[in-house]
Chain A
């Protein structure tokens, strides 16, 4: 009896893993298949002559390193800046009470309702007017804004569950606000901060809308996949390059997840329960 149940479990698990990994595997094999052999029916899942030529082509002609650099600058800065200001905001919301504050909090949370498409065009025109279009600061402000509601939500809820007694004791001992923040509050919030940083990092990496519409010169990885080189003619982009670019994006993500799986899982779950 026990065996059947165990087999059943492994079968289900296998199905799930297959559904997820099989397409990724196909993308990978496509990326290492030489262009001439790429389109065969049925699909050759073990390429006869694996080659890294697509990847090399990308590195040489797509300025991959430059894009990685831009992506890191934008995403890294956004995550760091937003985390800092959201820690401050979370403290403000959690440790202080007033009608005005509640309204402000509701505003931030409900602003999640506003889809990017609704604000896109005027925001675009506005960014251009104040010369923030296609600039690092401009992009960083937009990215930061997009992750503020989530960060505030998680950090504030976490902080609300921590009694203020330690801080009050410190205050009595003469510690200033800044000292309390830095030496007590932030260390206490470390798990939530870690979660928020990791999840926001992924969210920002995956953001396609913002770099697409609010930048020209600055190119990040997520939009790179719609800007691949044209080989041979002005009218065609090849699957071998697309798949290689896809894996360039996917691979670091997988590594990232493998390292941070625990934090991500606990973060997502913690966020949901507090809802």
Chain B
């Protein structure tokens, strides 16, 4: 009896192995962060029926570290088990010149439609040295300005149009344990806001000898240490914590990606509560756009199917389906026009019309660059190095990671 048991188990396992080894009835394998979205299956069946493909969708890790490692490892090792990946800007900039992705200029992002995509962003983020465009943006997002109307009313402000308003409002709203400006300044998140302020002051993130950059850092330093309109705790916060505090009424305004899903869930979204607002004018009026793009693995064995998929998601119907199912605001301006009117649509169109829209500044060795910048920023905010010292070191990093 005791002899039989192990033998049976071995046989059972062999059976399972072989069963799993033959699981390839799919035309395409998709590695995406949308997989865990509740409406994902709907979106996917839409894609499958439009393209006639059978798609195996794998969930991308949601933890940033893990995700970065997985994507980078898959692409760098020529892992052919994954055809299409869903990657963000950080990953995009680091891999676009490596040859691990297939350029899509002739097959998907052809001349007739490329004009509808945000040009600056496509050039900065998704175009390789050789001019190959390696990804299809799956949505367009803005690092938008959000205000809590409750506080705006409470402190008697009508709108935040310029830097002076920004500072005044921040100061007014800082009382009773609450703060005027909320941030997500954790080591790997700060680069977003750092970039915004540098842009708002008219500086250049990749040139730290520019005096406007120094002004921006000084401004942020003042927010924390001089005017104290931002708590130093933000140095530990990622978006989860920052948003929660915003919802709880601890902040009056902040910059955040997305269309406010978290605020809606908490019942705090609305004209009279938390909502999008136009970017205030500092030296310039500047806004960041980001996206997650679908890219094609050079090692893929299913390139034809992959191209079909990419053509669909780059099409107007594909984009609208993205909005309908997973609230992905279309990256194509013509597709965006097809959406029903909404506050999001209005504000996004406003941003496009009135602001300088840029992709976030990134270098090939993205993670190291942004991590190092985050580290010295924290040192500066905590008074361990001066603003001047920060600029010197920042410039060194730019040189090193180019």
Interface residues of A (CB under 8 A from B): 35-36, 39, 60-62, 73, 77, 80, 84, 124-125, 128, 133-137, 182, 186-187, 212-213, 216-217, 219, 223, 226-239
Contact = CB atoms under 8 A, between A and B. Distances in A.
A103 to B, nearest CB: 29
Contacts of A125: 77
Contact of A133 (B16, B58, B63, B79): B79
Interface stretch (B66-74, B146-154, B343-351): B66-74
B400 interface: no
Contacts of A124: 73, 77
A226 B63 contact: yes
A192 to B, nearest CB: 15
B66 A226 contact: yes
Contacts of A238: 240
Interface in B17-39: 17, 20-21, 31, 33, 36-38
12 contacts: A35-B265, A73-B16, A135-B20, A216-B58, A216-B70, A216-B74, A216-B82, A223-B61, A226-B66, A232-B258, A232-B264, A233-B258
B267 interface: yes
Given A182-B3, A216-B70, A235-B257, A62 B79 contact: no
A247 B248 CA distance: 26
A71 B150 CA distance: 49
A232 B248 CA distance: 17
Contact of B2 (A77, A186, A236): A186
A80 B37 contact: no
A230 B70 CA distance: 18
A231 B6 contact: no
Contacts of B261: 231-233
Interface residues of B, number: 44
B81 A217 contact: yes
Nearest to A179: B3
B59 interface: yes
B240 A239 contact: yes
B239 interface: yes
Contacts of A187: 2
Interface string B36-78: 1110000000000000000000111111001001100110010
Most buried by A among B59, B77, B81, B239: B59
Given A217-B81, A230-B33, 8 more contacts: A186-B2, A216-B74, A227-B60, A233-B239, A234-B33, A235-B257, A235-B258, A236-B243
B123 interface: no
Contacts of B264: 232
Given A84-B6, A182-B3, A234 B58 contact: no
Contact of B13 (A77, A128, A234): A77
B240 to A, nearest CB: 5
B62 A237 contact: yes
Contacts of A232: 258, 261-262, 264-265
Nearest to B82: A216
A236 B184 CA distance: 12
Contacts of B9: 80
A187 B3 CA distance: 12
Contacts of B257: 233-235
Contacts of A216: 31, 58, 70, 74, 79, 81-82
B396 interface: no
Contacts of B36: 61-62, 227-230
B258 A234 contact: yes
B98 interface: no
B262 A233 contact: yes
B59 A227 contact: yes
Most buried by B among A135, A228, A234, A236: A234
B262 to A, nearest CB: 5
Contacts of A230: 33, 36-37, 62
Contacts of B110: none
Contact of A227 (B62, B74, B266, B292): B62
Most buried by B among A125, A229, A238: A229
Nearest to B244: A39
B267 A36 contact: yes
A129 to B, nearest CB: 9
A188 B59 CA distance: 47
A90 B258 CA distance: 59
A233 to B, nearest CB: 4
Contact of A80 (B2, B6, B81, B258): B6
Contact of A236 (B33, B240, B292): B240
Contacts of B3: 182
